[in-house]
Chains A and B, each alone.
Chain A
């Protein structure tokens, strides 16, 4: 029973991480319908910026965190401006392959600058975040993750519900032409959503880096694991991304714990194929109605 409970808790914790990593991905998809294959590399870039600022620049952690977020905001903005804006209205495969190309570029760049080794951050989380529930132990990083994900969920919920920019984004996602004719600055919305998404991605990259250490290959693999998560949760639902993440996290830890560790990494994709066969637009996704 203890084993089961510990797996449950671990699964939820890992799932929350997946959910957080998926949030930036969903943001981009929500505003510009771009499937971002470079998401894992964005996570890694954020994590490495932070690493450089903290260990090499010796900047205090909160300041480094803010600086990294600002840097990634700018990066997302530039990516949209130089690479994705020329492709608005192009065929799907070009957009997908462009992000694949970007992924290879970023990965090469990261490997060139920081190398492929595992780096770790200095300890900075307070011990008071540790929890012991009976025999179950929750590491401080996980409770920090839980808090961060709740905070960001609330922030994003408010952003999309209340702020004018958030409403613009939703309108653009819903119908680009109608939004344009009602005076929404669609290009600015795209730029902003990429900037915000890159920021969220880098934040999740930092959180992942705190837990697992910073390594390009691991982080870009997580970028691919985002796909089953978002398909489960529906490509355009931020809350769904968290739920999808938790389901995938639980699935992984339970298969890893009870069946076989090697099956662990494939299970999300097997589930993904079945879900796509039964519910083509994901569990919480919006069904698109198409006319010829």
Chain B
């Protein structure tokens, strides 16, 4: 039993089990529990539909971002195809649900598995390629998947789109933002829990070894190709899972959203949140989604301001500009991302009045 304290005042770890522990003290565990209870207990009942919609989008994006963080932040393989994998998941879920009439809780993991297989195919170049060559290969993957989604009309109905049925869990129809809130955030909690624990296992340590130096990792007996493929598979599973949830949530899907811009958004989430940090991916997803909504709101408001409307300027591109600016500023000023900022804030409270 750990002593009830807010934070250890030094590194007192004596065993490997303590080193691996997720929470140093009971305080961290309790505060997380309280946060989750508040989130599940209050959020869906206090927030209006629009805010719940944003919260749900954050939840879905966070699942995909956590997956991408396993690939980029922990294994060090840069993928520019995550948006396309998200799309593969969405389509896999939609096709399974409409063509085969599979129930919801079969569809979503199955979509994840299908995406994991597609991800492994596009992970094969990682056996021989590293760094920027791999990045370019995944960029090609993005375009090829996008093309297939649009052109394989007998399966994906091309640009027509697919409409999904309402999901059913335990005989209850899930419809509306409130019901989806519980579904999405339960999934997010489970997936985050899973990701955190993968990283504490043999597999997670192998991923980190590959990230830090793949030649050295190979020398120490880690079959790097197999582990890179595994990392691609896990990260695509997350993307596919999130994608199929998104498809259910949006009710109807078309091929448009799954473009390179979405892939870039996912990477931005990982970088802005903090690479190699699971909560960081969730922070990043929150930041990007909220930023997107704020910018949409701001550009809409700017259009209606008299003198700007008089100039005849279209303010919509401002979104793209600010989005790029956010990425650039984070990389230049705080490359470890929001997770590091959050740590600094916490430690400056703890060290007060001697914080630096």
Binding site for B on A (CB under 8 A): 35, 83, 86-87, 90, 92-94, 96-98, 100-112, 115-116, 224, 227-228, 231, 235, 262-263, 265-266, 269-270, 272-273, 276-277, 280-281, 290-292
Q: For A100, list chain B residues within 8 Å (CB).
A: 264, 267, 324, 327
B314 and A109 within 8 A (CB)? no
B310 to chain A, nearest CB (A): 16
B331 and A266 within 8 A (CB)? no
Contact of B131 among A90, A92, A231, A276 (CB under 8 A): A92
Q: For A101, list chain B residues within 8 Å (CB).
A: 268, 324-328, 331
Contact of A96 among B132, B260, B314 (CB under 8 A): B132
Is residue B320 contacting chain A, with contact meaning CB distance below 8 A?
A: yes
Known: A108-B321, A111-B314, A227-B139. A97 touches B132 (CB 8 A): no
Q: For A116, list chain B residues within 8 Å (CB).
A: 317
A292 and B216 within 8 A (CB)? yes
B81 to chain A, nearest CB (A): 11
Interface string of B268-284 (1 = CB under 8 A from A): 10010001000000000
Q: For A108, list chain B residues within 8 Å (CB).
A: 317-324
A281 and B133 within 8 A (CB)? yes
B132 and A104 within 8 A (CB)? no
A269 to chain B, nearest CB (A): 4
**How far does the alpha carbon of A277 sit from the alpha carbon of B133 in the complex, in Å?**
10
B144 and A273 within 8 A (CB)? yes
Contact of A94 among B128, B132, B331 (CB under 8 A): B331
A251 to chain B, nearest CB (A): 14
A115 and B314 within 8 A (CB)? yes
Apart from A90-B335, A102-B324: 15 A-B pairs, beta carbons within 8 A: A35-B132, A35-B135, A92-B78, A93-B72, A94-B271, A96-B78, A100-B264, A101-B325, A106-B324, A109-B321, A112-B317, A228-B140, A262-B147, A276-B128, A290-B215
Is residue B141 contacting chain A, with contact meaning CB distance below 8 A?
A: yes
Interface bin, chain B: 35 or more
A102 and B328 within 8 A (CB)? yes
Known: A35-B132, A94-B331, A111-B314. A269 touches B140 (CB 8 A): yes
B222 to chain A, nearest CB (A): 13
B324 and A105 within 8 A (CB)? yes
Within 8 A of A (CB), among B121-167: 124-125, 128-129, 131-133, 135-137, 139-141, 143-144, 147, 151
Binding site for A on B (CB under 8 A): 72, 78, 124-125, 128-129, 131-133, 135-137, 139-141, 143-144, 147, 151, 213, 215-216, 219, 260, 264, 267-268, 271, 275, 313-328, 331-332, 335
B128 and A277 within 8 A (CB)? yes
Known: A105-B328, A266-B144. A97 touches B271 (CB 8 A): yes
**How far does the alpha carbon of A94 sit from the alpha carbon of B333 in the complex, in Å?**
12
Contact of B78 among A90, A93, A103 (CB under 8 A): A93
What are 12 A-B pairs with beta-carbon distances under 8 A? A92-B132, A93-B72, A93-B271, A93-B275, A101-B327, A106-B324, A108-B319, A108-B324, A112-B317, A228-B140, A276-B129, A292-B215
B205 to chain A, nearest CB (A): 18
Q: Give the nearest-CB partner of B142 in chain A.
A: A269
Q: For B315, list chain A residues within 8 Å (CB).
A: 112
B281 to chain A, nearest CB (A): 14
Q: For B326, list chain A residues within 8 Å (CB).
A: 101
Q: For B260, list chain A residues within 8 Å (CB).
A: 224
Known: A94-B335, A97-B271, A262-B151. A104 touches B136 (CB 8 A): no
**How far does the alpha carbon of A93 sit from the alpha carbon of B78 in the complex, in Å?**
7
Q: Give the nearest-CB partner of A83 in chain B.
A: B328
Q: Give the nearest-CB partner of A115 in chain B.
A: B314
A273 and B141 within 8 A (CB)? yes
Q: For A111, list chain B residues within 8 Å (CB).
A: 314, 316-317, 320
Known: A94-B271, A101-B325, A276-B129. A231 touches B317 (CB 8 A): no
B133 and A280 within 8 A (CB)? yes
Contact of A270 among B139, B140, B325 (CB under 8 A): B140
